[in-house]
Structure 1
Amino acid sequence: MISTADRNAWATFFARQGVKVIFSNGQLGMGSVKLGRIAKSLATDVNTKRRTKGLLPRAARAGIVGYPNVGKSSLINRLLNRRIVEKQTLPGVTRELKWVRFGKDLELLDSPGILPMRLTDQAVAIKLAICDDIGERSYDVTDVGTILVQMLARLPAIGDSHLKLIARCASE
């Protein structure tokens, strides 16, 4: 859900810190097999270290966290190759933390979307509202709709698509 340039910048940032980065797309499944393989390998490594310390093995735990509607539940379902956690294109479907077993050595935590307590950048807040990533109780729908129309009006016209948009908005 990010541009290639941003993705590469994040990969470079984390690589400089010695963190392995794997990009995936839970909706399309790209990268999920590799991610699953590495996650299971890391979980096995955790139990190997536990055994050397005289501790009993147990499932390692990893949390899947992020903004609303970025595909956290889709990624978990992809990793498990079945629909184990509910997902929709609406924010707020995942309402509570839920642990799911991924193999014998790993548990994944599906979590609700997380937003900062205060969004000081109003442009970001408006874009999140436009994408329906913030609950409608947090903003005035008419104001956000007006701003969206103003943003769309600044875009170059492609054929008659702007006329179709105006006609659709006028009919509702």
Structure 2
Amino acid sequence: MYIEPRPVVKVSKSSKIIIIGQAPGTKVHASGIPWDDASGKQLRKWLSVTDQQFYNTNLFGIIPMGFCYPGKGKSGDLSPRKECAEKWHEPLFEKLNNVDLVLLIGQYAQKYYLKEKVKSTLTETVNHYKEYLPRYFVMPHPSPRNRFWLKKNPWFEEHVIPDLQKRIHKIIG
């Protein structure tokens, strides 16, 4: 089944925090609103921000690794299409004047931006999040599918999330 491309990107020159996730899922593809799903609800909870703050492009810019829904695979959505990040990320970042922090959500964003500095597993990368500061803040994807990862790694919500929230609120005021 062919799905018409529908890029989902939301950013302005004045965005202070850039969120780089994977690619839109079916619900986001249908609505055209980034993070308009259960993952987005969890992400806003982790960031401790309102919907109004989250969708204010003066505060947050949203640039996924793949701009369009990549299609369905055997165990979930397919990987983000590589050509989006390769073609559009650098030109977009060249236009951004105000970025204080880039959130790298999930392994695709982390591998792309951290390159050889990424650890061998997502858990190890997230556990060493302070190594990537002050530019990048690494985190797992907030998908409900990751509930087992969260249960297995309680340190993330106990220690990493409070640090993330403190940094977010310092930046957005």
Pair member with larger Rg: 1
Higher relative contact order (CA 8 A, sep 6+): 2
- TM-score w.r.t. length of structure 2: 0.38
TM-score (norm 1): 0.38
